Structure 1
């Protein structure tokens, strides 16, 4: 029903007028406050029509109000952010919008482009409007492609239309049309026209959710690895005897001069994020976790960098950022990047990074994956859920705060955990990566061995369970689901308490930069858990215990 006091709206332009009319039609008593005298609807004819609509609706208009006049709602309109001018870019003095050439390249900065409400063509200015922002998009995309191509081509010039049609609803099923000095309406047929245009525009944002649930895009990061069945089959055929070789996180090479085992592993994947520095940091931390899961400290590293086709200057920058991201992991550990190799991707392939990592075991023997022993407990060093989170990010349906939280966790180096876990008698360990928690747990178990898993104790990244409940999954998760057979009555893993469908899917969610999963004596669990949390791994948890030996 109507409010006891008027609802004050501060601002001008079509948004403020349309909002005031819509609220009035719903029983509210809005009041409009303007900083100037005019509604700023783009033309004198539009302003006159807007004033008539407001008078007919009985909406008071206050003029020449101070900028900070109190209001319940503020319609600021299109305002250029102040950092554009603060960054030293050429801007229009009255609006703060970036000045560009007709090619949409920023004046004086030929490699920087701007369009839409933040920009203004210096020689052919237009008022801020979604019409020009949308219609400039195809030319902007084409000029970006031309500027990045190895063979430079002249940039195209955009010649925007002189006027744009504007449709304004009155909140009562009618609308007014403005075009330059002309005004039409209010009319119901104009409203139906406007409604159809608006709904078609909004529908363009809907397919991402449906596509994500029905046909997920192929995931990147460690979720891009080959599913288990074809991998195992190929390895069995190469063995000649049909047996799959034992899976270890890192292979033993030889002993060094001090008698310590040298270990080596290799890992890599298509870029998980667009930032080459951040992607390289994540890939390096992920690759090194194979050594840390074997109880080894990092000795050296080599890199294979695949760069997209682009200009030489851009490829140089990508390579610099990628290698700097690798070194952001190595330098604090005083580990050298020995060298590597570069390739140029073809057929539209993007950035990819693969790493060969070498380490030295701190114990007389590296930690194996298993077999586990009765009485041991399983400790997980940090949360899981990256697979479904980044699948949702690719589909455009992930809350950005969830991705930020995941990246913060993923960027934490687990190098300090090697000595810490060793001091508490860790006897077996692995890292949780592409095959998910249950898949990697299965590699630790011997045939006929029994283990109790407390799924409620498994730490989860924010948003992961919510997405799984909505039916979202990583594209590798269906193949990983074969590991769910371990949860059957005759399987090797017994669940403690009730488990939801989303929690079951979490167990096979592929991980990038996943946690370590360590087996240690039960009497050491409490001390190890406290030490982990004091070392910055606040969500570490004991998630299970071994019930029997094979």
Structure 2
């Protein structure tokens, strides 16, 4: 007999996506603690592996090879991934503060947020230089500079091991690109101070090989667009200025009330802070009993201890494991090209073989996150009813609009209903709303709900709210009032309260921004999270319906398509985290301003579960027109075409494809039938389409003119180009 799935009763929150937390996530995916809900907070969908940074800068690795994909990792672990930057911890209320969203409560938490830099405090640094961390902006800035031609002038601030590694990597890359370079390394103390003399001698020799100019015991006074002025008035000309010094703890830690050491969280051998429910690890922590330098090797080796102690803490056990760091470790330092220097126990090694060793260690570490296991489907019972396996399919059911019932089945079921006899209610054919007239007031009313496609309740609420509001905006109405319908998986009373608080605070904010008020709702426990809204809107002008389009009217779409295929791939662990987070960001974009700009539309709808073609067909059928879609003009979300080319489809795709069986078969054409969640507005514009498009783009919408209405009633043609 299958063991029951336990409801969540404890909240574990990992603050930061550092190396230790990434490893804990992977171990959690293999063996989670039943009853514990895991949440991860990180500013970005990926976390860079710093050990491969010099190799990337030198040109040995691609940018993607450096990234740990936290979206895929969290999906595998069943964790809520919250993309945002933590700004504080309230140890009294036991919650994490994240900008732009409700506080996140925890029972047990762990902090792995790395370090930051004080270089931006230097005069001119923010305007004319860039820190080596965070990696993303630095990597992009370096690639942009490297792609230029002509002599190069580079300066790096910080002469520690990291600064020297980066300097050598930049020098090698410039040489490989055939660019003559003048490179300066500025250090306020001695370059490589504290490193053993044998290693220091070899690294200084390597710097000399690249003709790097050393400025030791030099303090930066000001940075300008043409270079760096030192306090001794020496001027260092430079076009590309990088900072790899001044590492310090993040400022907000000082406001937590936790015991700190020079700004870093003081931890015991169990990796606990002064608050026993808050752990810390990696560079943001200081091991009080066994102090060690900031090095990735300690973060990696803390992972199994942290994983075990988090499980024991959540289970109420007191026998936590102790972490004992080694006294020495193998230091591997890149030398620019495919060579490296190694040091341990006072012995120094150098050459291509050491780089191969470093590369092997780095690649082995990253392989833990690239080669993630794919969850196997449960074995089906036998015997079983005929056709049950075919209904289930061979992949997980999509969330969002990908889980809707097909358009044909829905239409057939609605045809069985008798027409309304109420004089004050006017159904709008093909629309998801009705027009209600009370006195002199015209209202539209709609309802919509979504099966969760992301574990974060705040993100899901924003998506569901924008999705439901789309029906109101598509008719040119102003949102008025809303009720919420919520289904949560079974949780403890405390966790249910926490989740409802996050959802309702977010729903209130979304509806208030749209001009509507939350006036009530209903909640219950069920199999999985479902969030929906019933909404009314006021019409100060006649509502925009599906029936006013005429031949020659141009079609404008306000958002790219492709969310269905991206989320389907995400469910299977096949989508890049950056694609998923970008798609979710688009789903949260309000269409309020777009609706106002499109107020002169002759027909309008929002593009959701039936795909672009399905919703365009609704306009065609209700307007007695046809349409031509210009395939190459339809904007696509990042990654959608790649995934479509791989044959990935949403579960609703086959039903949507039946709407236009003679449509061309190609990866791009298939995306015209991809179900969208909180998609864009599709409007037929009678005049001034280009002017309307310019106004939409000025408001930040990725809008496009994608076709025109024709006189071929009920027929949609898809052409490759205009």
TM-score w.r.t. the length of structure 1 is: 0.71
What is the CA–CA distance in structure 1 between the aligned matches of 2:681 and 2:584, rounded to whole Å? 16
Does the Cα contact within 8 Å between 1:36 and 1:63 map onto a contact in 2? no
| Cross-structure match for 1:137 | 303
Q: 1:390 to 1:354 in 2, by over 3 A?
A: same
3-state SS, counterpart of residue 592 of structure 2: coil
CA shift, 1:289, in A, is 1.5
* Residue in structure 2 matching 1:301, options 468, 478, 482: 482
CA shift, 1:432, in A, is 0.3
**Deviation digits for residues 12-60 of structure 1, max 9, x if unmatched?**
4444455566657979897765443462566x4xx43332454488558
What is the CA–CA distance in structure 2 between the aligned matches of 1:78 and 1:139, rounded to whole Å? 30
What is the CA–CA distance in structure 2 between the aligned matches of 1:167 and 1:425, rounded to whole Å? 64
What is the CA–CA distance in structure 2 between the aligned matches of 1:362 and 1:421, rounded to whole Å? 15
| Cross-structure match for 2:592 | 414
| Cross-structure match for 1:183 | 347
CA shift, 1:76, in A, is 2.1
| Cross-structure match for 2:265 | 98
| Cross-structure match for 2:286 | 120
What is the CA–CA distance in structure 1 between the aligned matches of 2:290 and 2:487, rounded to whole Å? 42
CA shift, 1:510, in A, is 3.2
Does the Cα contact within 8 Å between 1:374 and 1:548 map onto a contact in 2? no
Does the Cα contact within 8 Å between 1:280 and 1:322 map onto a contact in 2? yes
| Cross-structure match for 1:280 | 461
* Residue in structure 1 matching 2:274, options 101, 104, 107: 107
| Cross-structure match for 2:192 | 39
3-state SS, counterpart of residue 136 of structure 1: helix
Does the Cα contact within 8 Å between 1:309 and 1:345 map onto a contact in 2? yes
CA shift, 1:461, in A, is 6.2
Q: 1:77 to 1:20 in 2, by over 3 A?
A: same
| Cross-structure match for 1:496 | none
Q: 1:544 to 1:221 in 2, by over 3 A?
A: farther
Does the Cα contact within 8 Å between 2:554 and 2:708 map onto a contact in 1? yes
* 1:445 partnered with 2:620: yes
3-state SS, counterpart of residue 509 of structure 2: helix
CA shift, 1:286, in A, is 0.8
| Cross-structure match for 1:165 | 330
CA shift, 1:323, in A, is 1.0
What is the CA–CA distance in structure 2 between the aligned matches of 1:311 and 1:317, rounded to whole Å? 10
**Deviation digits for residues 222-260 of structure 1, max 9, x if unmatched?**
3542363xx64477479789xxxx983325486545574
What is the CA–CA distance in structure 1 between the aligned matches of 2:468 and 2:408, rounded to whole Å? 21
Larger Rg: 1
* 1:250 partnered with 2:432: yes
- What residue ranges of structure 2 are gaps of 5+ in the alignment? 1-149, 221-229, 231-235, 376-393, 418-427, 715-722
What is the CA–CA distance in structure 2 between the aligned matches of 1:301 and 1:326, rounded to whole Å? 9
Does the Cα contact within 8 Å between 2:611 and 2:676 map onto a contact in 1? yes
* 1:65 partnered with 2:217: yes
The count of residues paired between Structure 1 and Structure 2 equals 508
Structure number with the higher strand fraction is 2
* Residue in structure 1 matching 2:559, options 379, 383, 395: 383
What is the CA–CA distance in structure 2 between the aligned matches of 1:197 and 1:544, rounded to whole Å? 57
Does the Cα contact within 8 Å between 1:378 and 1:545 map onto a contact in 2? yes
* 1:397 partnered with 2:576: yes
Q: 1:145 to 1:352 in 2, by over 3 A?
A: farther
What is the CA–CA distance in structure 2 between the aligned matches of 1:461 and 1:139, rounded to whole Å? 44
Alignment of 1:330-479 (within 5 A): 330-332=511-513, 335-344=516-525, 351-359=529-537, 368-370=545-547, 374-375=550-551, 377-380=553-556, 382-385=558-561, 387=563, 397=576, 399=578, 407=585, 410-414=588-592, 417=595, 424=600, 426=602, 428-446=603-621, 450-458=626-634, 460=635, 463=638, 475-476=650-651, 478-479=653-654
**Deviation digits for residues 315-340 of structure 1, max 9, x if unmatched?**
43332221122112322555332322
3-state SS, counterpart of residue 683 of structure 2: strand
Does the Cα contact within 8 Å between 1:296 and 1:362 map onto a contact in 2? yes
3-state SS, counterpart of residue 384 of structure 1: coil
What is the CA–CA distance in structure 2 between the aligned matches of 1:83 and 1:289, rounded to whole Å? 41
Q: 1:251 to 1:130 in 2, by over 3 A?
A: same
Q: 1:296 to 1:78 in 2, by over 3 A?
A: same
CA RMSD between the two structures: 5.0
